[in-house]
Amino acid sequence: LVGDANGADKAIQKFFAERTYPNVVVYHVGSSCRNNMGNWSTHPVEVQRTQRDFNYYAAKDLAMSEAAEYGLMIWDGESPGTVNNVLNLLEGGKKVVIYVSPRKEFLTFRTLNDATELLHDMNSVAVAHLDRKIGFRRRLGAAKGALSPA
């Protein structure tokens, strides 16, 4: 399962397309995919909103997290969409492997408490942004020690 966004989704699609890997389903919202580099099957996700904002595309990500058995993410250290996806999967009891590109390191998360590791590289402004966008601290509320950013 892969999304249709530019950036990491498109890079992963390119990787699979170059290897003619057939087992890909591209999730998207709206009437068509923004990217489908391998002409794979698609999974349209219906949304009741027309404004193409964070919540519009987050509906596709939530559907993917519900269908997935686990997640592999590439995170730039800033994207709230990626963190939202990580939390969706963890809240669903699913394991997540995340490549943190600024660190050049893979992290494995099994519980919401594990996701507090993301705070180590974030300053208070970045954490506040995640709080506004996705309710980061509220969602990590059960994880002790999650409220102190780096």
Structure tokens at 72: 């592999």
> Given this model, what pLDDT does residue 150 score?
45
pLDDT tens, per residue, the chain with 150 residues = 999 999 999 999 999 999 999 999 999 998 889 999 999 999 999 998 888 899 899 999 999 999 999 999 999 888 899 999 999 999 999 999 999 999 999 999 999 999 988 888 788 888 899 899 999 888 988 555 544 444
Distance in angstroms (rounded) separating the CA atoms of residues 119 and 147:
9
Q: Is the pTM of this model over 0.85?
A: yes
Cβ count near 46 (within 10 Å): 8
C-alpha 127: how far from its chain's center?
Answer: 16
To the nearest 10 degrees (0 to 180), the angle between helices 54-67 and 80-91 is 40
> Given this model, what pLDDT does residue 137 score?
86
